[in-house]
A and B are shown apart, each in its own frame.
Chain A
Amino acid sequence: MADSDGRQVDSINNATDEDVKLQEIVLAKNEGKELTKEEKQRLRKEKKQHKKSKKDDKGPPEKEKVKEKASVPVPSKPATQSPAHKAAPVPVNASASESPAAAEKPAKSKAELRAERRARQDSDRASKQGKKEVGQQSASSKPKATPNELQPVVKRLPEHVQVDDPAALKKLAKKLERQQVPLRSDYGYKVSLFSHLHQYSRKNPPTQQISIPATVIHPSIVRLGLQYSQGIIAGSNARSVALLHAFKQVIQDYSTPPNEELSRDLVNKLSPYISFLSQCRPLSASMGNAIKYIKKEISNIPSQCKEEEAKGELQACIDSYINEKIILASEAISKYAIEKISNGDVILVYGCSSLVNHILCKAFEKQRKFRVIVVDSRPRLEGRETLRRLVKKGIRCTYVLISALSYILPEVSKVFLGAHALLANGYVMSRVGTSQIALVAKAYNVPVLVCCETYKFCERVQTDSFVSNELDDPDDLIVTRNGKTHLENWQTVKSLGLLNLVYDVTPPDFVDLVITDLGMIPCTSVPVVLRVKNVDQ
């Protein structure tokens, strides 16, 4: 049988360079480099062989099942592997990796093994189509499956909150060097409470350090990164949609190199792009979810699929994702939200949320009589954009700055807020200032409604705005008043720091209702939705 032969070859190879490989794997783990898929599968195989001596031979189907499960992108590695401390900004799936400069000797046998394994997998996949899920299989594979379903507790700490750890920084630098992505350096004095976060200057985008045309990074990704870092594309939905369109372009231009499979290689190709984008601006929760979805779709492309067909299928997937999760979701949310808007309402909105603007425009079209108060804040002043859009529609608007909130709130009947992400403990992560609005609204007993699509829900938990946030360019706070710019030379003053936070978290007791495309739920039901979503997937 090809199986036993293959495995025998494997075991022979194992015997000869087992020690070397194990050493290499240990070394790689210690240096923090990503284990290649082969190395991980080797480790798994060792353990399997240990188990084999105890159990009956359930063998190849189970192994293939496990391997296939492993190749499905999960937010973290299966619990059987000791979590290597990775420095990846985005939960990268187990199979995406850039192999370190591996020695030539194991490389050859790796390719051999890979080919054999692939042949085995294909044959087994074909045979497995007819097989039913046997209780034994599910039972033995359950230890692997259950942790996936329950989202294993140990997760990699994202790199962007470890800036104060020099080891993590070194790891990141090495990884970026490998991927040929420029490393962006921090700028300016950082407030000590936030020394674990990056702080970049808008005047030094990472695109300055790469050559044009970039060989490693696709030009549409470079453009996207520049748009992110300069703030040209801002807003959770806008960033996700732009990202997905850029990926569509990447897929369009992609061609599978020989001896590679599209499902594996494309995912590997995307890694440096994602690193680059996160150097330009830390990824948002919505972007993270979108990336996870794409990687899953790519990995699920069957190997016999022709390249053109596969590319077409992926692009259709992306289109349907955008359509379902963003466009149709906003339609559904508007429908629910319009029920909550009555004639004569005075609605308060903050900053610029594409979803809230859409809701208000729809409500206005449906002949609801209301007026809007737009609250804005320095330094972004996004409320002006909202003001423009609403006035263009013909809605009556009032404009105030956030410091005038207590003055204007007695007139307000409802507050509509947008969200950047909804965390699993019910906290709403949104533009800085949102929590303040919710606080004062609560003090005046004004209902607060948060509108958020379900694709922005994320499994993270957070209780304050410090542990994970984004620091924007501190120079944005500098302003000239009465001809004087007091903060002009803030860098020269040793003890002066400027803090330009981007996000903050709102506790769930300030929020009265969350309107999602699945309906109107209280803030605390977010983990329920997440669970339902995961089961679906």
Chain B
Amino acid sequence: MPGADKETDLSERIESFLSELKRCGSGAGSLRGSAETARETTALLRRITAQARWSNAGDLMEIIRKEGRRMTAAQPSVTTVGNMVRRVLKIIREEYARSRGSTEEADQQESLHKLLTSGGSSEDNFRQHFAHLKANVIEAINELLTELEGTTDNISMQALEHIHSNEVIMTIGRSRTVEAFLKDAARKRKFHVMVAECAPFCQGHEMATSLSKEDIETTVIPDAAIFAVMSRVNKVIIGTQTVLANGGLRAVNGTHTLALAAKHHSTPLIVCAPMFKLSPQVSDTPVQSHLHDLVKLTSILSKVNAHCPVFDYVPPELITLFISNIGGNAPSYIYRLMSELYHPEDHEL
């Protein structure tokens, strides 16, 4: 039966996506960038919307929530998956509200008045059936996909506003967003880039070779030299894995040191992060990685504890500016953007 086929096909796809997430891991350098993960997640969610059996918005949201929980459980450190799930949930709520005809924008905002006057919970609201809901949701998800595809370009277009000529820019590790950002600026301006290699995986090396191929003067420095050279750096531009709800970052390890050094020298710290990296989570449970770099110490490894954290938490006080696909923002504004992207009830999947 075509329905069953579709279902098995769907579950197959979900399974393969999950296994790829599990395999990907966060330590050895993601096999794919977060943008790609976001796109694939959204495409998968669109497929679920199209092929799964549901009759009203509430069912759809349940299905998506369930799949979303499975996906985030597969690889908790990849937060973009959870973010996309929440975006889609919000889309569903919006489309549902639009179909119902209520002006949802005003209702979305939590206000004291609303808390006092609202009667029952809004749970029941999603049980109505609308014929065009599916089509609308899929269309909205398509819009989301287009937005995702254009994020890197949108960010790179702002590069010339932030980089002047003969600057020395420092970055750490490898971020595809920052790479595109700098390459775009390099088309018109000449500047120097210092890349901290970010041991033990040394993603900085790849970044440096890629930048130098575009004729950007690049220098690779070891992590230990970050503070030593910081006095000559004009700007620090970094990417991040996640932007937290308070405006802080969860970025690759070594970023906190970089941020402290920049603060000490009053160097602006600019974070290039597309909106899909915004996450309502605030937990920063340390994620550790395997320690293949310590192979030479096998003789005493049994008597030694070794730590290799993958991410660092950077508090919002150390950050100067966020550049995202919708423009530049101060860290203090992030909570507001968050409230526009996600519904508060979706913060816990």
| A141: B residues at CB distance < 8 A | none
Closest chain B residue, CB of each to CB of A489: B209
A496 to B220 alpha-carbon distance, docked (Å):
8
Q: Which of B29, B232, B253, B300 contacts A387 (CB 8 A)?
A: B300
B296 and A193 within 8 A (CB): no
Q: Which of B198-256 contact A (CB under 8 A)?
A: 198-202, 205-206, 208-209, 212-213, 215-229, 231-232, 253-254, 256
User: What chain B residues lie within 8 Å of A401 (beta carbons)?
Assistant: 199-200, 223, 293, 308
* Residue contact B206 to A486, C-beta cutoff 8 Å: yes
Q: Secondary structure at chain B's binding surface: helix, strand, loop or mixed?
A: mixed
Q: CB < 8 Å: which of B215, B216, B219 contacts A191? A: B219
> Within B283-317, which residues are at the interface with A (CB < 8 Å)?
286, 293-294, 296-297, 300, 303-309, 312-313
| Shortest distance between the CB of B202 and any CB in chain A (Å) | 5
**Chain B, 27-42, CB within 8 A of any chain A CB:** 28-29
Q: A407-B286, A408-B307 are in contact. Are A387 and B297 (CB under 8 A)?
A: yes
Report if B264 contacts A (CB, 8 A).
yes
A440 touches B218 (CB 8 A): no
Is B260 among interface residues, defined by CB-CB distance under 8 A?
yes
Contact between B304 and A391, CB atoms less than 8 A apart: yes
Q: B10 at interface (Cβ–Cβ under 8 A)?
A: no
* Contact assessment for A407 and B197 in the assembled complex, using a CB-CB cutoff below 8 Å: no
* Complex interface bits, A385-408 against B, C-beta within 8 A gives 1, otherwise 0: 001100100000111111111111
Are A432's CB and B261's CB within 8 A? Answer: no
Please determine whether A403 and B254 come into contact, CB atoms closer than 8 angstroms.
Answer: yes
A435 touches B227 (CB 8 A): yes
Chain B contact patch, size range: 35 or more
**A436→B212 contact, CB < 8 A:** no
Q: Which listed residue (A399, A477, A482) contacts B29, Cβ 8 A?
A: A482
The answer for the CA separation of A465 and B225 in the assembled complex, in Å, is: 10
B75 within 8 A of A: no
Complex CA gap A482/B303 in Å reads 27
List residues of chain A with CB within 8 A of the CB of B154.
none
Interface 9-mer from A92-100, A266-274, A497-505? A497-505
Q: Enumerate chain A residues within 8 angstroms of B307, measured Cβ to Cβ.
A: 398-400, 404, 407-408
A438, chain B: closest CB distance, angstroms = 9
Shortest distance in angstroms between B22's beta carbon and chain A's nearest beta carbon? 18
The chain A residue sitting closest to B291, CB to CB, is A399
A411: min CB distance to chain B, Å: 10
Tell me if A110 counts as interface (CB < 8 A to partner B): no
**CB proximity of B23 to chain A, nearest CB, Å:** 14
Bound Cα distance from A432 to B227, whole angstroms = 9
Pick the contact of A432: B225, B256, B293 (CB < 8 A): B225
Give Cα distance in the complex from A486 to B201, angstroms: 12
How would residues 504 to 517 of chain A score, 1 for a CB under 8 Å from any chain B CB and 0 otherwise?
11000000000000
A406 x B257 contact (CB < 8 A): yes
Inter-chain contact B218/A495, CB cutoff 8 Å: yes
**B202 contacts A481, CB within 8 Å?**
yes
- CB-CB < 8 A to B304: which residues of A? 387, 391, 397-399
Cα A497 to Cα B205 with chains together (Å): 11
From B215, B224, B286, B312, name the one whose CB has the most chain A CB atoms within 10 angstroms: B224
Across the interface, do B300 and A391 meet the contact criterion of CB distance under 8 Å?
A: yes
Which residue of the partner chain, among B215, B222, B300, contacts A477 with CB atoms under 8 Å? B222
B232 touches A398 (CB 8 A): no
Residue from A397, A401, A465 having most chain B Cβ neighbours under 10 A: A401
Give CA–CA (A281, B228) in the complex, Å: 21
In the assembled complex, A336 has its CB within 8 A of some CB on chain B: no
**Residue A40, interface by CB 8 Å:** no
Given known A-B contacts A436-B226, A495-B216, A400 and B209 have beta carbons under 8 A apart: no
* A501 cross-chain contacts in B, Cβ below 8 A: 221-222, 225, 228-229
Which has the most chain A C-beta neighbours within 10 Å: B219, B232, B293? B219
Residue of A nearest to B305 (CB): A398
> A479 an interface residue at 8 Å Cβ cutoff?
yes
Report whether A479 and B225 are in contact in the complex, using a CB–CB cutoff of 8 Å: no
Q: Which of A156-205 contact B (CB under 8 A)?
A: 191-193
Cβ contacts under 8 Å, B205 to chain A: 479, 481, 486-487
Docked complex Cα distance between A407 and B255 (Å): 11
Q: In the complex, A407 Cα to B304 Cα: how many Å? A: 17
Q: Which of chain A's residues have a CB closer than 8 A to the CB of B225?
A: 432-433, 499, 501, 504
Q: Establish whether residues B223 and A407, one from each chain, have CB atoms under 8 Å apart when the complex forms.
A: no
Q: How far is the CA of A377 from the CA of B306 in the complex (A)?
A: 14
- Specify which chain A residues have a CB less than 8 angstroms from the CB of B253 in the assembled complex: 403-404, 406-407
In the complex with contacts A401-B199, A465-B229, A486-B206, A439-B220 CB distance below 8 A: no
Q: Known contacts A493-B209, A495-B217: does B260 contact A482 (CB below 8 Å)?
A: no
Whether A432 and B303, one on each chain, are in contact in the complex, defined by CB atoms closer than 8 angstroms, is no
A415-450 Cβ-contact flags toward B at 8 Å (1 or 0):
000000000000000011101100110010000000
Q: Is A7 an interface residue (CB 8 A)?
A: no
Report the Cα distance A499→B197, complex, angstroms: 11
* Contact across chains for A500 and B228 when beta carbons are under 8 A apart: no
Residues of B within 8 A of A495 (CB): 212, 215-218
A379-B222 in contact given A407-B307, A432-B228, A486-B206 (Cβ < 8 Å): yes
Closest chain B residue to A381, Cβ basis = B296
Q: Does A464 contact B (CB under 8 A)?
A: yes
Q: Chain A residues near B200: list those with CB within 8 A.
A: 378, 401
**Once the chains bind, are A487 and B257 in contact (CB under 8 Å)?**
no
Decide if A403 touches B232 in the complex (CB within 8 Å): no
Q: Judging by beta carbons under 8 Å apart, are A403 and B198 in contact?
A: yes
Q: In the assembly, what is the distance between CA of A387 and CA of B297, in Å?
A: 9
Q: List 30 A-B contacts (CB under 8 A).
A: A387-B297, A399-B294, A400-B306, A401-B199, A401-B293, A402-B223, A403-B199, A405-B256, A406-B313, A435-B228, A436-B224, A436-B227, A439-B257, A439-B260, A439-B264, A465-B228, A465-B231, A466-B231, A466-B232, A479-B205, A481-B202, A481-B205, A482-B28, A487-B205, A487-B209, A494-B215, A497-B220, A500-B222, A501-B228, A501-B229
Q: Give me 5 other A-B pairs in contact (C-beta within 8 A), A402-B199, A436-B224, A501-B222 excluded.
A: A397-B303, A400-B307, A403-B254, A486-B208, A505-B228
Nearest 9 Cβ contacts at the A-B interface? A433-B224, A403-B254, A406-B256, A504-B228, A377-B224, A496-B212, A486-B205, A465-B228, A436-B227
